[in-house]
Structure 1
Amino acid sequence: MATDTAGPEAAGLEVMYRGTVYPWHCDQMGHMNVMWYVGKFDEATWQLFAGFGVTPDYLRDSGRGMVAVDQRISYRKELCAGDVVLVRSTLLEVRSKVIRFCHQMENASTGDVAAVTVLTGVHIDTKERRSCPLPEEHMARARALVTDFDPGI
């Protein structure tokens, strides 16, 4: 569990995704299946990245990419068909080639935290298939977004 008691907004987490759990997202037990948590987190990732300049246009035009090298998920509360969810996100660490970030998925009606994930992404040259530094302007914008939020995982 996150240790911040002032709430996600005060901790610097911003809403990067809002959506609904549909019946086809649910497994035989009636809860949202783990693949959909990852999918919704992924949608939030691209919104977060766009906030510091890592957009689809930038990636295509510069021959760059982002790859996930580590993802940890803590499932905390079940979500069911009809639940409205939001994902709040923040950057935890920015290095030359590496970004570590967090998403917190919440039930929008209850405020309950359904899941938390921490990911490590690496910036790559897609032709060379090797890591490479982020442009300085992207790093500066990303570093300005880093918070000290403790995701608890």
Structure 2
Amino acid sequence: MTRVPRHADFRLLTGRGTGDRTSGAASASVSYMQWIETHRDVVYPWQCDHMGHLNVMYYTAMFDRATWHLFSSVGFTGAYLRTQDRGMAAVQSTTSYRSELVSGDLIVIRSRFLEVHERKARFEHEMTNLETGEIAATSELVGVHIDRTVRKACAIPEEIRSSIEKLISGESGDSADR
């Protein structure tokens, strides 16, 4: 299993502020999945709260939409989930709010897998204000693969787990930073 350590320097992981992704001690022994674009949106006035900025429930909704695109990129498609009677359940979620978004702001979400195990995967999203380039929020989640018939965790199919591992290790051309 390849995974990104929780203490990893964000700049080393993304190449931002370092000149290249291969510099630094962290990248010498571990390869990191590049971010893939998973969602674009705009902040509407009706999504803003009494403080005039995007309400937390809409951050969550946008991250959820991005999750489905990330999952689909490795085979967790709607068709797979329906035909195999499977599901993905979020069992842990941590969101950090870094800068405010207001009505009219355009956002992009980029996502990546951090690690995969037999029955679960850990992944993260980064929401950026397109006009300012500021990171507005990040969200890290753990999802568990579920057999909906018996309502219990079950193994992620080998081909999907293998696809996630390839993305994490950088073996797939699909993980290019967009």
TM over 0.5: yes
The DSSP-based 3-state class of the residue aligned with 2:11 is coil
Answer yes or no: is 1:87 the counterpart of 2:109.
yes
The share of aligned pairs that are identical, in percent, is 44
Which whole-Å CA distance do the structure 2 matches of 1:7 and 1:126 have between them? 41
2:93 corresponds to:
71
Q: Is the 8 A contact 1:90 1:147 kept in 2?
A: no
Match in the other structure for 2:10? 3
Assess, with a 3 A threshold, how the Cα gap between structure 1 residues 87 and 31 changes in structure 2: closer, same or farther.
same
Q: Can you give the 5+ residue segments of structure 2 that lack an aligned partner in the other structure? A: 1-7, 22-32, 171-178
Residue 52 of structure 1 corresponds to which residue in structure 2? 74
Partner Cα separation in structure 2 for residue 89 and residue 7 of structure 1: 15
Q: How much has 1:2 moved relative to structure 2?
A: 5.6
1:81 Cα shift? 0.3
Count of aligned residue pairs for this structure pair: 147
1:25 aligned residue (47, 64, 71): 47
Question: What residue number does 2:157 align with?
Answer: 135
Superposed CA deviations along residues 99-120 of structure 1, whole A, max 9, x for unmatched, are 0000000001111000011000
Gaps of 5+ in 1: 149-153
Query: Is the partner of 1:7 in helix, strand or coil?
Result: coil
Tell me the residue number matched to 1:42.
Answer: 64
Name which one, 1 or 2, has greater alpha-carbon Rg. 2
CA–CA separation in structure 1 for the residues paired with 2:57 and 2:169: 28
Q: Deviations over 1:63-106 (max 9, x none)?
A: 10000000001100000000000001000001110000000000
Q: Which is strand-richer, 1 or 2?
A: 1
Give the 3 Å change call, closer, same or farther, for CA 20–2 of structure 1 in structure 2. farther
Structure 1 residue 142, shift from structure 2 partner: 1.0
Aligned-residue Cα RMSD (Å) equals 1.8
What CA distance in whole angstroms lies between the structure 2 residues aligned with 1:147 and 1:87?
21
Secondary structure in 1 matching 2:167: coil
Equivalents in 1 of 2:135, 2:169: separation in Å?
19
Q: TM-score, normalised by structure 2?
A: 0.79
Q: Which residue of 2 aligns with 1:151?
A: none
Residues 13-58 of structure 1: per-residue CA shift (max 9 Å, x gap): 1110001000011001100000000000000000000000000100
Q: If each structure's helix is expressed as a fraction of its own residues, which one has the higher value?
A: 2
